[in-house]
């Protein structure tokens, strides 16, 4: 396939995806189409819908490799799901299923912010259901929920920020290797693995981490209003904990299963009879401001 053919194939898929989105919005968000965006019914019946959104794996907006090229990352995908759901008048709530050890602070915050804005403008409820692990950035995102359920075996917590660093100066010395960079300022190679940090560098980096940590604390304060700040800070030292301990500390609301979280969300939303749905192939609906890879659609 030539470069021009690939480009035509790509643009054809993009236009096709936008057509699907327009059709889905005009039909209340329901669309069934082979190979393209569609809404999947998981259970229930009736016109009102609860949308399940997955936060699964490391939280990042890195493109996802596929046989058809790079697909949009998690941040872009969730933003796209929320944009589709916003135009569906029958969406009554979000069931947020989280199974993640965390990820980048920025992407965690973007997803959290997107969920908060959706909840505010759409005036719906969100319930989070934790899986095997919902720690660090995963817990950060859970703060957008009105209530949080954890599986009995969930590991959660890890409220904190880390800036990884490895230092190889000792190993380099053994092999007679030295580093001699030319920099424009004394902090330019602040994270160099080839030497030990200076006290001034350590202080500067610690201040940066502390500022990012306060963002996390702020999200927890807003998400867990029944907890006093001193209670939050007492356990916001990076520790992980079981679901039982998380409930005892006030970091979650209940211990239960995904079905329990769905039932509770239906009650909170005020629509006990509804359909639980998810979206498939949201990349076929086009791009949004967080899309950093343009997918090549196949199967035409």
pLDDT at 228: 97
For position 130, what pLDDT does the model report?
A: 98
Q: What mean pLDDT do residues 86-97 have?
A: 97
DSSP 140-166: HHHTTSSEEEE-TT-EEE--S------
Complete domains list, the chain, with CATH: 3-158+239-285 (3.90.226.10), 160-227 (no CATH)
pLDDT reading at 30 higher than 80: no
Residue 150 neighbours by CB distance under 10 Å: 28
Instruction: Report the 3 state secondary structure along 21-84.
Output: HHHHHHCCCCCCCCCCCEEEEEEECCCCEEEEEEEECCECCCCEEECCEEECCHHHHHHHHHHH
Tokens of 178: 């030295």
Per annotation, catalytic residue among 24, 114, 136, 158: 136
- pTM confidence score: 0.84
Other CB atoms within a 10 A radius of the CB of residue 176 amount to 6
**Between residues 11 and 245, which one has the greater pLDDT?**
245
Active site annotation includes 114: no
Predicted pLDDT at 68: 61
Q: Which residues pair with 56 in a beta bridge?
A: 99
Q: What is the pLDDT of residues 167-225, one digit of tens each?
A: 888 888 888 888 888 999 999 989 899 888 999 999 999 999 999 999 999 999 999 99
| Token code pair at residue 43 | 């259970």
Question: Greater confidence, 18 or 242?
Answer: 242
pLDDT level of residue 293 (50, 70, 90 thresholds): low
Who wins on pLDDT, 11 or 238?
A: 238
What average pLDDT does range 269-274 have in this prediction? 96
Q: Is the pLDDT of residue 141 over 70?
A: yes
**Is 136 part of the annotated catalytic residue set?**
yes
Mean pLDDT of all residues in the chain? Answer: 86
Catalytic residue, chosen from 26, 153, 173, 188, is 188
249 within 8 A of 235, measured Cβ to Cβ: yes
Q: Which of 18-22, 77-81, 215-219 has the lowest mean pLDDT?
A: 18-22
């Amino acid at each position: 396939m030539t470069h021009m053919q690939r480009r035509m194939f790509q643009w054809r898929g993009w236009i096709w995806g936008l057509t699907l989105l327009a059709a889905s919005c005009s039909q209340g968000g329901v669309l069934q189409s082979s190979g393209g965006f569609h809404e999947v019914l998981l259970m229930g019946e009736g016109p009102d819908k609860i949308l399940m959104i997955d936060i699964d794996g490391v939280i990042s907006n890195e493109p996802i490799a596929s046989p058809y090229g790079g697909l949009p990352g998690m941040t872009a995908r969730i933003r796209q799901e929320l944009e589709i759901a916003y135009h569906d008048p029958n969406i009554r709530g979000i069931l947020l299923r989280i199974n993640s050890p965390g990820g980048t602070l920025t992407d965690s915050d973007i997803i959290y912010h997107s969920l908060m804005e959706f909840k505010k403008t759409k005036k719906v409820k969100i319930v989070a259901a934790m899986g095997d692990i919902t720690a660090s950035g995963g817990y950060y995102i859970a703060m957008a929920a009105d209530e949080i359920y954890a599986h009995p075996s969930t590991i959660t917590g890890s409220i904190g920020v880390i800036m990884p660093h490895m230092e190889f100066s000792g190993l380099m010395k053994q092999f007679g290797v030295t580093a001699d960079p030319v920099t424009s300022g004394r902090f330019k190679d602040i994270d160099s693995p080839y030497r030990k940090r200076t006290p001034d560098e350590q202080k500067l980096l610690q201040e940066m981490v502390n500022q990012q940590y306060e963002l996390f604390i702020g999200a927890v304060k807003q998400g867990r209003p029944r907890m006093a700040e001193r209670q939050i800070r007492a356990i916001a030292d990076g520790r992980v904990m079981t679901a039982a301990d998380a409930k005892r500390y006030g970091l979650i609301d209940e211990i239960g299963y995904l079905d329990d979280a769905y039932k509770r969300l239906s009650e909170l939303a005020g629509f006990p009879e509804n359909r639980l749905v998810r979206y498939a192939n949201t990349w076929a609906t086009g791009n949004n401001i967080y899309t950093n890879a343009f997918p090549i659609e196949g199967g035409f």
